[in-house]
Structure 1
Amino acid sequence: MPSTPASTAPGTTPDRAVGEREAAPTGPRRLVPGLLLCAAAVGVSLLVTQLVPVMSALLAAILLGVVLATTVPLPAATAPGLKFAAKRLLRLGVVLLGVQLLLSDIAGLGVGMIGTVVAVVVIGIFGTLLIGRMLGVAPGQRLLIACGFSICGAAAVAAADGVVDAEEEDVVTAIALVVIFGTLMIPAVPLLATLIGLPTEQAGLWAGGSIHEVAQVVAVGGTLGGSALGAAVVVKLARVLMLAPVLAVLGWHQRRTTVVPEGAKHPPLVPLFVLGFLAMVALRSTGVLGESVVEAAQIGQTVLLSAAMFALGCSVRLAAMKKVGLRPFVLAAISTVIVALTALTGVLLAA
């Protein structure tokens, strides 16, 4: 009768021992492979922003995720960590986004420009949704495009996805359109401002009210020079503040329209991360946060959102994106025009 191998515990078969050794990690340990991959991607994305300043780390990260997922089979062990980054880290990043905002700076814009910011977001979203419906763009995709183009680019797209849980291909398509049309706005706004004869500060206000990404706004403000950069950034951050009420409305709509199984809970009326975002805005506006804390929070926000963008990119399959067609591109172009004209009208009326 063969003896039991010394490496196998009494009462345990060799096959069972091997199965236990090869069992996938449980609990927080299962997140480690995916989060390590995200950390490496964030490092590469931050390096890209140093080499190409007009590209934000968020955009670089999602492009890196798409390329990696398309060219290299990702190990199954990375899936839990990537899913965690795409959902949880995204929401934490949105919370820290509130640290960038000072209510006193936004109030200093005056009633006219604050009204312009509200008009840009409201008209931009509803106009984009209406045109998107006429073009036959899928509801989830037109909503993401509307939020991204009207509020704050990639962060708004991802935050809206955190509420409505859209298809990954729709998310990445919307962010890709933000990259394309926001980049086109970088030379277009200074050129058109010169042709129209806008003073430097008004040109900066227009840039902040019309361009999609914060990094793109900074690039245009720096090009315009003078007081344009400060004006552009404050208006853009005022648009970022509109993220909270828009997400609250989306959460309310989801609660009304989502059918939940008997005994299950409805989605929250206002998502918790939206309340966290508002809390960070309020905390920053009290002045109790030192400059070093604000800078650390801004770095943390960039890291978290970049990790989330990379994870979203890794979930995309280009074969599915090829089915998108030209309609979202047409909608993105029209949305850009709607937002830009609304912002320009507001700037001229507020002058």
Structure 2
Amino acid sequence: MRGTVPGLLAAAAAVAASFLVHLLLPAVPVLTAAVVLGLLAANVPGSAAMASGAWKPGLALAARKFLRAGIVLLGLKVSLVDIAGLGWSALGLIVVLVLAAFAGTYAICRLFRLPGDEPVLIASGFSICGVSAIGAMAAVRRTRAEDTVVPIALVTLCGTLAIAALPLAGRLLELSPEVFGAWAGASVHDVGQVVATAQTAGGTALAAAVVVKLARVVLLAPLTAAAGLLARRTDTRKGGSREDRAGTGSRPPLVPLFVLGFLALILVRTSGLLPDPVLEGAAVVQDLLFAAALFALGAGVRVRTLFASGARAAGAALTSWVLISGLGLAVAVLL
């Protein structure tokens, strides 16, 4: 554990810097700042040597463990009572939206010839809940941490783009607060980005956005389980090649333990046992964990590696973002 201290301290400093950037420039989300700082740390002379040397054990711990802990805490934002209030028809529409967004994004990424697990990771992040979905899907598929950086960077940057673009589009289309909120919840990626987008239209829009978004978040567990089952069957057919790639002797988990923790905390939140100050504190801790994890992931990538598929990945992401925005608007109008 002593060897992880330098990297953890670097991550802590980066988290503080990310929050400071957000404080000075509110239009720049904390997670976006954390990714950018990580990329800078990995590619600026001096810090690059530290990122690949003394910081590496601590950053590896942050990238893996902190991201998963943040996903677990995400469960405290989801109340099944609030989601049930949407009604069965609305829930059915949201399920169809997520499946269509996942399938459409995956197909677009394949058309752009993105390598490895990038298509499925980008599809997960764009259709469900951003960074959290990418982390969960990567765990099930035993994807290397460095291979998640491009999907995470794209889902973070496109979500940031939505914060500026959707309010402008909503005003041009003269959408009511309820419809605009549902649109934000149906099409924006991370929960924080949804809040930042929807609050521009007031409390009514924000309330609608959060409920619709959390209905999408719940689907993280079944889609992760489906991906886990597929990964296990693929390993059986290929004689464990994915296990060899991951360097483990075990089969991919059907549902990772941290996803079960996510589900458990959904039940805790639904029970109403935790007071608001505890929930608010957990939300702050989640933001800190995600920021540290994203800095660590960014610090593991060299720019030349990022640009290997970066242009094609950016094109695929923007195309997918337009698709999901259109699907989300259609669902919002129907809701």
Match of 1:280 among 265, 273, 276: 265
Instruction: Report percent identity of matched pairs.
Output: 46
Equivalenced residue count is 322
The more displaced of 96-105 and 116-125 is 116-125
Q: 1:118 aligns with which of 95, 110, 119?
A: 95
> In the alignment, which residue of structure 1 is the partner of 2:28?
55
Q: From 222, 238, 248, give the equivalent of 2:199.
A: 222
Pair 246,293 (structure 1): closer, same or farther in 2 beyond 3 Å: same
Whether 2:295 is the aligned partner of 1:310: answer yes
Query: Structure 1 residues 143, 104: closer, same or farther in 2, change over 3 A?
Result: same
Q: Determine the structure 1 residue equivalent to 2:5.
A: 32
The residue number in structure 1 matching 2:14 is 41
Q: Offset at 1:37? A: 1.5
Distance 2:232 2:140 in 1: 10
Q: Which residue of 1 is the match for residue 141 of structure 2?
A: 164
Question: Match for 2:160: what amino acid?
Answer: T
Normalising by structure 2, we get a TM-score of 0.89
CA–CA separation in structure 2 for the residues paired with 1:57 and 1:160: 23
Amino acid at match of 1:84: L
SS of 2:54's partner is helix
Corresponding residue number in structure 2 for 1:104:
81
CA RMSD of superposed structures (Å):
2.1
Report the Cα distance in structure 1 between the residues aligned to 2:193 and 2:270, rounded to whole angstroms.
25
Structure 2 matches for 1:1-351, cutoff 5 A? 28-71=1-44, 72=47, 73-74=49-50, 76-168=53-145, 170-258=147-235, 259=240, 260=243, 264-350=249-335
Q: Is the Cα–Cα contact under 8 Å of residues 59 and 175 in structure 1 kept in the other structure?
A: no
Distance of 1:155 and 1:32 partners within structure 2: 25
Contact 1:59 1:154 in 2 (8 A): no
How much has 1:41 moved relative to structure 2? 1.4
Give 1 or 2 for the bigger CA radius of gyration: 1
Residue 324 of structure 1 aligns to a residue whose secondary structure is helix
Equivalent residue letter for 2:202: G
Tell me, which stretches of 5 or more residues in structure 2 are unaligned? none
Report the Cα distance in structure 1 between the residues aligned to 2:122 and 2:174, rounded to whole angstroms.
Answer: 30
Counterpart Cα distance in 2 of 1:302 and 1:309 = 11
CA distance, structure 2, for counterparts of residue 279 and residue 218 of structure 1 = 24
1:226 Cα deviation from its structure 2 partner: 4.6
Instruction: Give the SS at the match of 1:270.
Output: coil
Which has the larger displacement, 210-219 or 274-283? 210-219
Distance 1:271 1:167, change over 3 A: closer
Q: Distance in 2 between matches of 1:89 and 1:330?
A: 30
| Structure 1 unaligned residues grouped into runs of 5+ | 1-27
| Counterpart contact for 1:140–1:166, Cα < 8 Å | yes
TM-score by length of 1: 0.85
Determine if contact 2:117/2:143 at 8 Å carries over to the other structure.
Answer: yes
Assess if the C-alpha contact under 8 Å between 1:113 and 1:347 holds in 2: no
